[in-house]
Amino acid sequence: MIQRKHTKAARRTPRCLAAAILSLFLWMGTAAAQGIQEPEMVFVAGGSFTMGCTFEQGSDCASDEKPSQEVQLTGFAIAKYEVTQALWKQVMGNNPSRFKGDSLPVENVTWDDVQIFLQRLNAKTGKNYRLPTEAEWEYAARGGQQSRQTMFAGGSELETVAWCSSNAENSTHNGAQGSPTNSGCTT
């Protein structure tokens, strides 16, 4: 499995990217949530995939997506939707987001903010939530085993499968309004 170093540079992940990757994983927990609306989780069956720049992407790749490599993953659970501002407020007591709305995804957070959020969420729920690895995130976002011939889960045109600058009207959107990937997550 690929290991990612958490250097100071890695922690300076742009706030927008940190919000985009703020999907949580669940491993077995025991204690009842203390009034917390826990994330809805979906199971992603394990398998192998080509991580990084694929043939279908052609030259439309960033330099850090090369060279591609074959990765094997075991099954895992991932949040179906992004972490909402409502959940962030329940856990953290504040809302740093620029685009306000309880059902909107939290944004304007750093990697370090997310680590504190996860510690507090785990303490409140008795569960073990964490950020996905880069490989787990890419596999789930591509739709797991079901999306081998397209650039993204569900298609090769970004605007048809996710909110992005060309269709989001300069705002964030409720994750439940997006297109579900073949893995069950919503983009």
Residue 183 included in any domain = no
Residue 185 included in any domain = no
What percentage of the chain has pLDDT greater than the value 90?
Answer: 39
Residue 3 included in any domain = no
Q: Please name the residues in contact with 38: beta carbons below 8 A apart, sequence gap of 6 or more.
A: 125, 127
**Closest residue by Cα to residue 123 from 92, 81, 169, 160:** 92
Tokens representing 92? 């953290």
Q: Where are the alpha helices (DSSP H) in the chain?
A: 8-11, 15-20, 85-92, 111-125, 134-141, 158-161
CA distance 92 to 164: 27
pLDDT of residue 19: 46
Q: How confident is the model at residue 166 (pLDDT cuts 50, 70, 90)?
A: confident
What range does the domain containing 14 cover? 8-177
Q: What is the CATH number of the domain that holds 166?
A: 3.90.1580.10
Of the given ranges (52-66, 112-126, 147-161, 172-186), which has the lowest mean pLDDT? 172-186
Domain count, the chain: 1
pLDDT of residue 64: 83
pLDDT at residue 65 tops 90: no
CA distance 122 to 125: 5
Residue 163 included in any domain = yes
pLDDT at residue 33 tops 50: no
Hunting for tokens 């690895």 — which residue is that? 133
* Cis amide linkage into residue 105, ω under 30° from 0: no
Residue 132 included in any domain = yes
pLDDT of residue 128: 94
Confirm whether pTM is higher than 0.95: no
pLDDT at residue 25 tops 50: no
Please state the rounded mean pLDDT for residues 49-56. Answer: 80
Cα-based angle 15, 168, 54 (whole degrees, multiple of 5): 70
Residue 128 included in any domain = yes
Highest average pLDDT, of 37-46, 51-60, 99-108, 137-146, comes from 99-108
Please state the rounded mean pLDDT for residues 153-175. Answer: 73
Say if CB 8 and CB 106 are below 8 A apart: no
Please state the rounded mean pLDDT for residues 48-52. Answer: 87
Please state the rounded mean pLDDT for residues 66-94. Answer: 93
Question: What one-character-per-residue DSSP string does 92-114 give?
Answer: HS----SS--TTSBP-S--HHHH
Please state the rounded mean pLDDT for residues 59-74. Answer: 85
Residue 2 included in any domain = no
Residue 184 included in any domain = no
pLDDT at residue 186 tops 80: no
